[in-house]
Amino acid sequence: MTDDKALSPVFILAPPRSYTSLFSASLGQHPALFGMPELNLFQAVKMEDFWSGLDENGVQRSPFWHVMRHGLLRAVAQLYLGEQTYESVRAAERWVRTRATMTSGEVYQELAQKLSPRRIVEKSPGYLRKEEYLERLLETFPQARFIHLVRHPMGQCLSSLKAKGGKQLLFMLGAVDYRGAVPVLDPQIVWHDSQIRIMNFLEQLPVEQWVRIRGEDFIMGPAAVLQQICRWLEISDTPEAIEAMLHPEASPFSCEGPANARLGNDINFLQNPSLTPGRVPDQSLQVALPWRVDGATFHPRVIELAQELGYEFSVPVHAERTPLAPLMWGGRTLLDGGNLRFKEVMKDPKLRSLGEALLKQMREDFAADQPENESAKSNGQLGSTSRDELEKQKQWLEYRADILDAMLEETIASLEQVNSLLRDA
């Protein structure tokens, strides 16, 4: 752990689609701060587990875990090698592997020291998946500052459903209302259960260590909100600093990375990272939910919590802080920290039909995207890597693999020979 305030990062806590990418990248452009991609480090105790993606039971955390490493790889490539290229990401992989026996906290501290005196700004929505992730984070950085970024549940839910891959992510997180004959994807579960995890975590900390802001306020008046945050963090709020923060697109991580680490953030943000201040339409808590054909409205718990967070009601409300997921579905939830597993879905006829429909839709969504990527495709690009470069890398790696394979065989043969001699002796 480090009590060094100067090394303590600023963490943004929020469920996905709460303006976190924009806000984090904006804040990270302050000259005294450094905005990271999603590092996801605290989801593992040891770096070897982070690298393998296996949990404490040896089970793969997620079929997409390799993507969860992109943020760290891009960060290391940028910080240690000054560029994000195919080769620098390979060097970053080596950097991670040489730290296999270190804890994720030690590695995070090393990154913080590397950047010192600038402080890290990071948001990894994955940290909300388990209480222990947040505890690990706090144990490493007891002086960390936290920003609870909230968004109206209607806006957050609609955005989650609209985002590329969003529905599939919600399904994986168990945002399913299972009570009816047909299970329905319902993002309000993620909104609600993420908020209460954040609130329960923050309220154990001294009040000066965290702050809550509304994403809508940031979008409608970013300069004012950022100035408020600067003062809270006791860093410069000069016009130059504010101006820098109004350009999240200037971050080296506000674009797709090379082919071997393309993401590290929400793809929707990476493809459109600029901040466009504007009015956010008023939204209501008391309407039929557009994604529900059964005319359902927000769960009363969601309404209460939204009111407590300052939406629609100015009267203080204290919502009950228990997860919504078990009430809407007794299965896995966001707060279990696990994902819905393929086998689990396939053996449940109700889930299976929903899962298959979402998969089909994902294929259609990505197929519909093709025209957008035509220019990149015609240039043979994958992320920021050209097809030619990838072809060369492929040949090089195939060659390396063959050399190593031949050496391994020879080594094993020699070993067997020595063992045989030892037995005879």
Residues that bind other proteins (CB under 8 A): 78-83, 85, 87-88, 91, 94-95, 97-99, 101-103, 106, 109-110, 113-116, 395-396, 399-400, 402-403, 406-407, 410, 413-414
234 dihedral zone (left: phi>0; alpha: psi -120 to 50; beta): left
CB of 219 to other proteins, least distance (A): 31
- Given a contact cutoff of 8 angstroms between Cβ atoms, the answer to whether 15 and 46 are in contact is no
329 CB-contact burial (10 Å; exposed 0-12 / middle 13-18 / buried 19+): buried
- Given a contact cutoff of 8 angstroms between Cβ atoms, the answer to whether 26 and 32 are in contact is no
CB of 362 to other proteins, least distance (A): 36
- Identity of the residue, 28 or 187, whose beta carbon is nearer to other proteins in the bound complex: 28
CB of 98 to other proteins, least distance (A): 4
In 3D space, the residue among 130, 53, 74 whose CA is nearest the CA of residue 333 turns out to be: 130
- The helix/strand/coil state of 21 is helix
Q: What is the rounded distance in angstroms from the CA atom of residue 120 to the CA atom of residue 411?
A: 45
Q: What is the rounded distance in angstroms from the CA atom of residue 251 to the CA atom of residue 29?
A: 7
Q: What is the rounded distance in angstroms from the CA atom of residue 297 to the CA atom of residue 307?
A: 15
- Identity of the residue, 96 or 309, whose beta carbon is nearer to other proteins in the bound complex: 96
CB of 253 to other proteins, least distance (A): 14
CB of 97 to other proteins, least distance (A): 6
- Identity of the residue, 288 or 407, whose beta carbon is nearer to other proteins in the bound complex: 407
Residue type present at position 36: M
CB of 88 to other proteins, least distance (A): 6
- Identity of the residue, 2 or 209, whose beta carbon is nearer to other proteins in the bound complex: 2
- Identity of the residue, 106 or 312, whose beta carbon is nearer to other proteins in the bound complex: 106
Residue type present at position 306: A
Tokens representing 298?
Answer: 């927000």
- Identity of the residue, 231 or 400, whose beta carbon is nearer to other proteins in the bound complex: 400
The pairing of strands 184-185 and 145-150 is unpaired
